[in-house]
Every structure is written in C-alpha cells, then in structure tokens.
Amino acid sequence: MASFRDNWAFGIVTMVWGAIMVVVTVVSILIAAPFLGPRKAFFTIAPMFYRSVFRVCGVTWAIEGWEELPEAIRNGTQPCIFMCNHESQLDPPFLVGILPAHPVFIAKKEVKYIPFVGWAAMCAGVIFIDRGHRERAIGSLSQAAAGIRSGKSVVVFPEGTRTRTGELLPLKKGSFNLAIEAQVPVVPMGLNGAYQVLAPGARRISPGHYRLRVGAPLDPASFQDREALMAETRQSILRLSRG
C-alpha cells in the first residue's frame, strides 16, 4: 500500500509548510537573540525546526561513535574540523541538529546576504570566506584558521560539492590546508542514507534513515604532509559511510 507521503499533494503541502517554517524559525531566533545571545538562540531553536521536518517526512536518524571521541571534543573545549561526505541538501541542517558540540559551517561570503538564511547563519557564528579572488581567499582561510584556533569547531564537506552518484568524490585541498594551518584535530565522519532521502533532482524528501558515523580524530602533526592526511581522511570517510 502506498504511503500518504507518496501523494503529490503531501509533497506540495510540505514544501509550502517548510518555506513558512524557515521564516518563522529565523524570526524566532532573531527575537530570542537579545535574551539568549545569538549563538545560543540559533542552536536552541534551529534544531527543533530541522527535527520537525524529518519527523513530518518520515525520516529517522542516528549518530554512532560520538561517545568514543575525547571528552574535550565532545564538550566543545577542544576545537576541531569535522569532515564529512556530502550526499544531500539536507546534510547541513541535519548536522546542525544532531552534533552535540554545535560546530559551525564555513560558507562563501555571499550567503550572509541571503534574506533569512544569511541572518540565521550570522547568528550561528558561521565563518564566511571570500572565494572570488585568490589573495582574498587566502586571507579568508587564515582568518578562518584563527577563528578555529580560538575555539570554533567547524564542519566542512571536503568534496567541495554534493555527490551526483552517491559515490565519494575526490577531496579538495582547501579543507586540509585549513586543518594544517589551524593545527586542530580532523574528525572524519560518514553519512549513510542521505542520498536516498533526498537525491539530486528530487522534488520531495523520501522516508528513510539518516545515519552518521563518527570516526577517531586525526592529528595533522602526525602526518608527513597534506597528501598523507587527505588519503587517511578519505579512507576513514569511505569506511564510515559504507559500514
């Protein structure tokens, strides 16, 4: 028997509801920010929205391996760079909602000028970088490294874009340059199920199971060079996303 979620009307209703709730969520964050502080307001309110979307659409989720991380990473006192495969547009909100350490994302500076989305990103403490010019991009990465060293853990997708096939793409060098400059641990993670929940070109979220597996931290100083760190991170992400 077909699920009511397979009905085209349900898809339209959820799209409209989702758009309205984005606005409501951001406005709620902005109202709460003067009382809770921008960052706390974001991480208190935004995950409730993301999780409600998953529940309505029939998506379950789980995180594995988190408790095996060092306590300093789990409680946010040790900044790190979480590196994860990227299968779906839902990956960023999913990670925001599920990771207890509340890391932020690195985004191109243009995002801050997008109504509602940019406002929420600034409340969250997203690190914005300038990718439009080589010298400015290098300067932005140095600033991002300084922000990480000062205590901001971040999430990056080292592939640089979403996969279109479900397979892990080649990893870009920029994330690893950042890790080496910041000299903080790299924590590999693997998402499984995201591609099936919202594949590229899909018009609606499909019921399914989102699973995140967290691997052991990698110390950049323990590797001979950037390429060695990239190779080990790639193998870890592959294992975690397939296991």
CA–chain centroid gap for 45, Å, is: 17
pLDDT tens-place string over residues 105-129:
888 788 888 888 888 889 998 888 7
| First-residue to last-residue Cα distance in the chain | 31
Q: What number is the average pLDDT over the span 168-176? A: 92
For 206, half-sphere exposure in the C-beta direction (CA atoms, 13 angstrom radius) is 14
CA–chain centroid gap for 1, Å, is: 35
What domains sit in the chain, N to C, each tagged with a CATH number?
4-242 (3.40.1130.10)
Rounded Cα distance, 3 and 36, in Å: 41
Q: What number is the average pLDDT over the span 145-150? A: 86
- Which residues have C-beta within 8 Å of that of residue 36, sequence separation ≥ 6? 44
Q: Reply yes or no on whether the pLDDT at 1 is more than 50.
A: no
Rounded Cα distance, 12 and 7, in Å: 9
pLDDT at 243: 64
Rounded Cα distance, 128 and 113, in Å: 11
pLDDT at 217: 98
Q: Reply yes or no on whether the pLDDT at 132 is more than 70.
A: no
Q: Reply yes or no on whether the pLDDT at 15 is more than 90.
A: no
Q: Reply yes or no on whether the pLDDT at 227 is more than 90.
A: yes
Rounded Cα distance, 221 and 189, in Å: 20
CA–chain centroid gap for 154, Å, is: 8
Tokens (6 digits) for 211: 């699973």
Share of the chain above pLDDT 70, in %: 92
